[in-house]
């Protein structure tokens, strides 16, 4: 197992496939690096070095009580980049991972970054407030917290349906994909599962988005039930300077799996542009 240890003693696991320009993937909650296996295999087969870590508290990484916030997630990502001596990196973040990428650039700058891709990503900020009237009500996130504490195993099974759009009439459901989601979710620690909800829902990433200076691609499905496009990608597209927005009709939150061929093609085209 490839791991490194952060300054606060947390062991971070990562996959490192292929050779070439580095592409670093930041996964969503409550998943792991395995959520990006389709993109990593596709791009590694085409001459790129694909690296994806399990965020602290998730997957095969250590499960500390502390540090389940976007500042620490971003700092862990920075330590991974330094540990592997990476430069000219293409950063790809899905959902919470998109927030991690934005906060990483906001805190650590653009120097090592070549491009950024935010997929179904949480920025600018998810929770509804006076400043963000189109956001998701706090009650929704409170219910997630209740579900984590009451029976997170059942929560992951239930959440997999809207995550992949499998609750839509006529949609072909993959029980294998649902089981993979459940397995990855159960590998996350209880503290990380709980505290990360506040991190991805209440962290305002507007100022971080303003600091992104590299070419940036926003990918989002217009049928995303987890991070609705109107309060995420459509707003981020107005903030990031050098940005391209591509909306996939009918695509759900978990589009990296359900629409992997389209996502893979979009990534390759953007990286090679």
Q: Inform me whether the pLDDT recorded for 28 exceeds 90.
A: yes
32 φ, ψ (degrees, to nearest 5) = -150, -175
pLDDT band at 1; cut points 50, 70, 90: confident
3-state secondary structure at position 49: strand
Q: Dig out the tokens for 109 from the structure.
A: 């700058």
Say if residues 66 and 7 touch (Cβ distance below 8 Å).
no
Q: Dig out the tokens for 121 from the structure.
A: 């990503």
Mean pLDDT of 62-90: 98
pLDDT tens readout for residues 131-165? 999 999 999 999 999 999 999 999 999 999 999 99
CA distances from 250 to 120, 136, 220, 255 (A): 13, 20, 10, 10
CATH code where residue 141 lies: 3.40.50.1820
CA distances from 139 to 106, 127, 128, 142, 144 (A): 29, 9, 10, 5, 9
CA dist 41 and 43 (Å) reads 6
**Which pLDDT belongs to residue 136?**
98
In percent, the amount of the chain with pLDDT more than 90 equals 100
CA dist 234 and 262 (Å) reads 20
**Which pLDDT belongs to residue 205?**
98
Q: Inform me whether the pLDDT recorded for 58 exceeds 90.
A: yes
CA dist 46 and 163 (Å) reads 29
- Looking at residue 9, what DSSP letter applies? S
User: Is 32 an active-site residue?
Assistant: no
CA dist 223 and 100 (Å) reads 23
Name the residue with tokens 């580095």. Answer: 22
Write down the catalytic residue from 58, 220, 253, 259: 253
**Which pLDDT belongs to residue 143?**
98
pTM over 0.85: yes
Q: Inform me whether the pLDDT recorded for 107 exceeds 90.
A: yes
Q: Inform me whether the pLDDT recorded for 16 exceeds 90.
A: yes
pLDDT tens readout for residues 253-271? 999 999 999 999 999 999 9
The structural domain count of the chain equals: 1
Write down the catalytic residue from 75, 76, 208, 224: 224
Residue 67 structural domain:
3-272
pLDDT tens readout for residues 221-231? 999 999 999 99
267 φ, ψ (degrees, to nearest 5) = -65, -50
CA dist 268 and 50 (Å) reads 12
Region label for 46, one of left (φ > 0), alpha (ψ between -120 and 50) or beta (otherwise): alpha
Residue-averaged pLDDT of the chain:
98
Cis preceding linkage at 30, omega within 30: yes
Q: Inform me whether the pLDDT recorded for 45 exceeds 90.
A: yes
In terms of C-beta density within 10 A (0-12 exposed, 13-18 middle, 19 or more buried), how is residue 139 classed? Answer: exposed
pLDDT band at 124; cut points 50, 70, 90: very high
User: Is 120 an active-site residue?
Assistant: no
10-27 CB burial, b ≥16 within 10 A, e <16:
bbbbbbbbbeebbbbbbb
The answer for residues whose C-beta is within 8 angstroms of residue 179's C-beta and 6 or more apart is none
Mean pLDDT of 52-75: 98
User: Is 174 an active-site residue?
Assistant: no
């Amino acid at each position: 197992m490839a791991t490194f240890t952060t300054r606060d003693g947390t062991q971070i696991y990562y996959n490192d496939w292929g050779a070439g320009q580095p592409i670093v993937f930041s996964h969503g909650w409550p998943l792991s690096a395995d959520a990006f296996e389709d993109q990593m295999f596709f791009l590694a087969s085409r001459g790129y070095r694909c690296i994806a870590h399990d965020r602290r508290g998730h997957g095969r990484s250590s499960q500390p009580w502390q540090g389940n916030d976007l500042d620490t997630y971003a700092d862990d990502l920075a330590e991974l980049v330094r540990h592997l001596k990476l430069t000219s990196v293409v950063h790809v973040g899905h959902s919470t991972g998109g927030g991690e990428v934005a906060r990483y650039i906001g805190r650590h700058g653009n120097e090592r970054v070549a491009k950024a891709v935010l997929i179904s990503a949480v920025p600018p900020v998810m929770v509804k407030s006076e400043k963000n009237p189109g956001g998701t009500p706090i009650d929704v996130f409170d219910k997630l917290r209740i579900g984590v504490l009451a029976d997170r195993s059942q929560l992951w099974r239930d959440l997999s349906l809207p995550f992949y759009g499998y609750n839509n009439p006529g949609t072909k459901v993959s029980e294998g994909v649902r089981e993979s989601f459940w397995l990855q979710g159960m590998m996350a620690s209880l503290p990380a599962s709980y505290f990360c909800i506040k991190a991805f829902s209440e962290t305002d990433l507007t100022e971080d988005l303003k600091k992104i200076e590299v070419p940036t691609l926003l990918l989002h499905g217009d049928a995303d039930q987890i991070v609705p496009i109107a309060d995420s990608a459509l707003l981020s597209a107005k903030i990031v300077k050098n940005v391209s927005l591509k909306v996939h009709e009918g695509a759900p939150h978990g589009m990296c799996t359900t629409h992997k061929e389209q996502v893979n093609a979009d990534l390759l085209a953007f990286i090679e542009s």
